[in-house]
Chain A
């Protein structure tokens, strides 16, 4: 069982992703709509985080180094609705494994990225 945390302020996106990922029995999904709560709640059992960049409470690029410092083993897949080259480069510099643009080309693409980091 792989623990996956979804950190995004948009409830509908987290709900849609939760529904999709729960179809896979190997995944256990944890939803966090507030990154500050997520930073204190996510423990070492979590293996993958789907992390939004633009959040009002805390930017995903600020969240990333802090969670990596706390739990270095966690794999982070960044998500954003407005992508720039700077954001991509910063994400990789801070330790993100993958980068997904919203809207996703397909939900399978999300599954594939998760599979890539969990294998």
Chain B
């Protein structure tokens, strides 16, 4: 739709151009002839009138050729064979008009149509000696030809207009395309500028003399300069020293001018004097005349990268050292250690392991453990190793020995090694537990004895506890009995005492009084005995408690 609208606009513009150019042309040409023809027509009417008044000029001739003269009498003045009687082509009114016209001025021109062709005829009016009017046709122009010329011109103007229209259309289309191309170029230029200015990588363009031609904002930010401070300056401003600048020139800049791309890390300097590492990639750019006009550098701040690399190098060095110490440590460790790969081949072992196999380390590596052990042990270890396929670690105790008499009991600690999440073998640490096992047996015996002793003690303690409970119960029972017996004894003893006192206070001294007093004494003794028994029971119960 947009395209159609544009075409419509172009068409209208072209059409207007044609109108502006062709129409005035056409009008000018047309008018120049049309005016003459019109004047001839007007004059023709006047001549007709004039001729009408003088009939004696009826035989007036008119010729059709371009150059001829004819007398009014029409007898001997003809220079051309083609002539016609004037009156045949003019009505009486027309002839009269010519006559009137001739009466007003001596000469005039008129357009006359003869056999469908128009001619411009110039009439000359004179008087002879006899004072008669003579009308001579002094000039006749074939206006038919002019008309044809006019038509031809009109046709040419139309064709020219059409051509002009086409040309205008093409021109406008071309201009449209040109504008579009120009806009695209401008857009591309803007885009290129935008990329250049907003790129996350710093750009530095220097000429062959190492003068800075162009920089992008990131480079300015990286080095701490403004664009104005850098442009037209020598690239030396970015280097740590003159020597560094010259060294860079020899090392890299000269090569970068020749080679397509060159890449190097180098230490440079910021405006504030801070040094940092850059990674510069350079590519030459060519001008039309010169082979190499300079280099486009893309620069990245790789200070962190360099630091990280240094750290990694240090770490690597540290790892190598640690690995060395680890190997040393493993080798000097008194515990046998070996590493099996996933195929069951020993890939690493320490000296302690070599010692129990009574082999040299080089004779063990790249061999299977089964090569050094009796078959029954090989089968046991094989079954255990199969468990490692679905367990991260196992440990078990088993004898290890090349011959039966020198066998020792070892505790095998096997830990799986994974590589990329897949089983890649295991590391086995062998702990000699022979002595430990013996000690454990002894310890188990001791523990058994201790448990037995403890069981006996517990039994005794339980009996004691039961006795204590019994004594407590007895004590509580004694307390209750003591209380319950002592209470009646109290008033029994008191009343008996009062009875004795009363008996003693009786003044009569008879045998019965004496006998009663003796009885009370016996009763008192019995009560005292009961009280003593109860008191003894109380004391005993309290002691037990």
Contacts and interface: CB of A to CB of B under 8 A. Distances in A.
Interface of A: 10, 12-13, 15-17, 19-20, 54, 81-84, 102-104, 106-107
Given A20-B494, A82-B538, A103-B494, 20 more contacts: A10-B487, A10-B491, A12-B491, A13-B490, A16-B490, A16-B494, A16-B495, A17-B494, A81-B484, A81-B490, A82-B483, A84-B542, A102-B489, A102-B490, A103-B486, A103-B493, A103-B527, A106-B497, A107-B497, A107-B498
B421 interface: no
Nearest to B486: A81
Chain B facing A: main interface SS: helix
Of B482, B484, B491, B498, most buried by chain A (CB within 10 Å of CB) is B491
Of B482, B485, B487, B542, most buried by chain A (CB within 10 Å of CB) is B487
A102 B486 contact: yes
B350 to A, nearest CB: 76
Interface of B: 479, 482-495, 497-498, 527, 531, 538, 542
A28 to B, nearest CB: 19
A82 B486 contact: yes
Contacts of B498: 16, 19-20, 107
B483 A81 contact: yes
Nearest to B482: A82
10 contacts: A12-B488, A13-B487, A13-B494, A16-B490, A20-B498, A82-B482, A83-B538, A84-B542, A103-B486, A107-B497
Contacts of B492: 103
A67 B448 CA distance: 65
Contacts of B483: 54, 81-82
A3 B81 CA distance: 204
Contacts of A19: 495, 498
Given A19-B498, A84-B542, A103 B482 contact: no
Chain A facing B: main interface SS: loop
Contacts of B495: 16, 19
A75 to B, nearest CB: 21
B362 to A, nearest CB: 89
A54 B482 CA distance: 12
Contacts of A81: 482-487, 490
Contact of A107 (B494, B531, B538): B494
A107 B491 CA distance: 10
A83 B534 CA distance: 12
A17 B483 CA distance: 18
A82 B479 contact: yes
A60 to B, nearest CB: 13
Of A15, A54, A83, A102, most buried by chain B (CB within 10 Å of CB) is A102
Of A10, A16, A103, A104, most buried by chain B (CB within 10 Å of CB) is A103
A81 B479 CA distance: 9
Of A10, A16, A106, most buried by chain B (CB within 10 Å of CB) is A16
A16 B491 contact: yes
The 9 closest A-B pairs by CB, nearest first: A81-B486, A16-B491, A82-B483, A102-B490, A103-B490, A103-B489, A16-B494, A103-B493, A81-B483
Nearest to A79: B490
B491 A15 contact: yes
Nearest to A15: B491
Contacts of A13: 487, 490-491, 494
A81 B487 CA distance: 6
Nearest to A81: B486
A21 to B, nearest CB: 11
Nearest to B480: A82
Nearest to B498: A20
Of A16, A19, A82, most buried by chain B (CB within 10 Å of CB) is A82
Contacts of A10: 487, 491
Of A17, A81, A107, most buried by chain B (CB within 10 Å of CB) is A81
Contacts of A107: 494, 497-498
